[in-house]
Structure 1
Amino acid sequence: MTWLRKPWVGPLAFVVVAFVAFSLPPYLTGDRASARVQSDWGPHYPFLLVHVFCASIAIVTCVVQIWPWFRGRFPAWHRRIGRVYVWAGVLPAGLSGLVIGWMTPFGPVAMVSDVMLAVLWLVFTWLAWRAARTRQFRDHRKWMIRSFALTVSIITNRIWGVVAFLLLADRVPEAQLPNTIAGIATWTGWVVPLLISQWWLERKPARRRAAVEQRETVPA
């Protein structure tokens, strides 16, 4: 089948589904004590619920949106799911992320990172949507790749958090450990995927690079 030529689709979908299946259940009960992030700020929990549910919509629909086979085979559904990604996923998740990022219990380093992530996520997604509306599909693809990188950064955030814990658990005082790990994980969680996505956009495919080198070696 054609879509199997993109070997990253299956593993990516599996990781995303597994992550949502693991992350979402504690928030389905409505029990504040079961939330994985606790805060003394009263309205934190309702904003956290909005963020978790809508970010789950965003990350699932985003996998479908970047699937080349689906995008080419079902363009009408690509547009419909794109609207869900923007209006039911990124917009409410990004706005609620701004609030809970500003009120994070993990210190100023994590706060700055969370706010920047939410702002860039909203801006990149809006630019992708605007480019699609004006039929500038090349720009739409570029901004959507950046938006996707920030959408899945929550997964890499968790990975970096585990790495930071393993490296720092015996070196940082226990009282400072949560904020230290959160500061490292929040920044690396979205900055690294965004840098990789930018490299991907700016790279020269092997065939194109070979053609350019061939032209450069042809004598005038």
Structure 2
Amino acid sequence: MPWWRRPWTAPLAALVLVFLAMSLPRYATLDPALSRVPPVEGFALHYPLLVAHILFSTVAMVTGFLQIWPWFRRRFRTAHRHLGRAYVFGGVLPAGLTGLVVGAVSPFGPVTRVSNVVLALLWLAFTAVGFRRIRQRRHAEHRVWMLRSVTLTMSIIFNRLVGAVVGVLLGPRVDTLFGGSEAAMVQTVALLSAWLGWVVPLAAVEWWLRRGSRRAQSNTRQTGRA
């Protein structure tokens, strides 16, 4: 199927490029004052690990998009294999480990920390299973697990969209809902975006995978009856 017959490729590519263009410059300066995440007292490595997490996540986002792009995967098989290793070992593995540490000490509260830790562990686990499946030449299972992995890789984009929408909705209600506490409002926005940011995309992908599996089983039964 030609690449233009996949309607999701161009929007996803645009979202990745826009997200990286808006996020990377503030961390490329290595100036902690420009960070979106407040410093964590008593943990001097927080900012260096955060920057490392963002840089490795950038590798994961770019290579992950190319990995799930069917046209690229079919046309450049050798590049697909090399980029797959870059995705795992130069992207997800270091990004997941640094994200696990940074997420566990998040200044946005304990509920957000739990989400960050669960997300990092699932991200690493899905990727590890997907890599093991391709080593076992179980290609269909490999694609399923890597789709889950890339979904979590890209979930940061949905996280930011949710945060922006929730921030707009809750911002005018600081006095009524949060007793005038902006800190409470920020923590609420953070925890909602933290959980919804990856749970919703992953649930959508699981629904799509199960729908495809049911359709394949139905086609198989109809073929058997023919």
Tell me the TM-score normalised to structure 1 length. Answer: 0.92
1:11: how far off? 1.3
Please list every run of 5 or more consecutive structure 1 residues that lacks an aligned counterpart in the other structure: none
Distance, in Å, in 2 between the alignment partners of 1:117 and 1:206 is: 27
More helix by share: 2
- Corresponding position of 1:31: 31
Amino acid at match of 1:44: H
Amino acid at match of 1:191: V
Aligned pairs for 1:183-198 within 5 A: 183-198=191-206
Aligned pairs for 1:2-151 within 5 A: 2-39=2-39, 40=41, 41-151=43-153
Tell me the matched-pair count.
Answer: 217
Q: Deviations over 1:106-145 (max 9, x none)?
A: 0000000000000000000011111111110011011011
1:166: how far off? 2.1
Name the % identity. Answer: 49
Amino acid at match of 1:174: E
Of the structure 1 ranges 58-67 and 1-10, higher mean CA displacement relative to structure 2 is found in: 1-10
The correspondence for 1:180, drawn from 188, 203, 212, is 188
Distance, in Å, in 1 between the alignment partners of 2:213 and 2:75 is: 24
Q: Secondary structure at the match of 2:183?
A: coil
Q: Secondary structure at the match of 1:36?
A: coil
Q: Secondary structure at the match of 1:24?
A: helix
Amino acid at match of 1:141: R
Q: Secondary structure at the match of 1:176?
A: helix
Distance, in Å, in 2 between the alignment partners of 1:91 and 1:104 is: 20
Amino acid at match of 1:116: V
Distance, in Å, in 2 between the alignment partners of 1:211 and 1:126 is: 31
Q: Secondary structure at the match of 2:182?
A: coil
Amino acid at match of 1:178: V
Amino acid at match of 1:37: V
The correspondence for 2:207, drawn from 199, 202, 213, is 199
Distance, in Å, in 1 between the alignment partners of 2:10 and 2:220 is: 33
Amino acid at match of 2:203: L
Distance 1:213 1:123, change over 3 A: closer
Of the structure 1 ranges 145-154 and 157-166, higher mean CA displacement relative to structure 2 is found in: 157-166
Distance, in Å, in 2 between the alignment partners of 1:166 and 1:71 is: 39
1:7: how far off? 1.6
Distance 1:207 1:197, change over 3 A: closer
